[in-house]
Structure 1
Amino acid sequence: METIYDWVTLGIFAGLVVLFLQRSTSETEHEKDSLGWYLAAGAGCAVTNYFGNKGNDIVAVVVLAATLGLIFVFLKPFNFGSSAGP
């Protein structure tokens, strides 16, 4: 745990684990929520951490942005604009 990339990717990965566990015990079915998307996001965290630790900051930031985009587009951790509730 030497660089900021270690902490950021660990936080994102922990969030992925919580999201996966929460959804796997949920009774509702989530569209396009397959294990492959979690694998891709975890691999994105690993690649970001690798390049960040090697000093390739530009590549690490681009991969991090792509990973966050993948998470928000395909896994949809937040329900923006949902009309659930009174």
Structure 2
Amino acid sequence: MSIRSAIETKLVEAFAPERLDVLNESHHHAGHQPGMTEDGETHMRVRIVSAKFSGLTRLSRHRAITDLLKSEFDAGLHALAIDAAAPGEPTRW
């Protein structure tokens, strides 16, 4: 299973999102460190809207996601941009 697919599966199971996009942005970072190529899965962006984020701070939302995805970081994920919102909160995406 790809890192992108694993991230998506875990987020769906843990947060039952109303909206979810998992974007591979690795091609923007090719060559930035040895071993980082255009076709890798080193840099991802998560855009998620979930009722489970209601009442949580931005930091708490980020920690919940990064804690969930520890094995993906161990498997080679280098960077994760997170846009997390609760239903009804404005998003820029």
Tell me the TM-score normalised to structure 2 length: 0.30
Q: Write 1 or 2 for the structure with the bigger share of helix.
A: 1
Structure richer in strand, relative to its length: 2
Greater radius of gyration (CA): 1
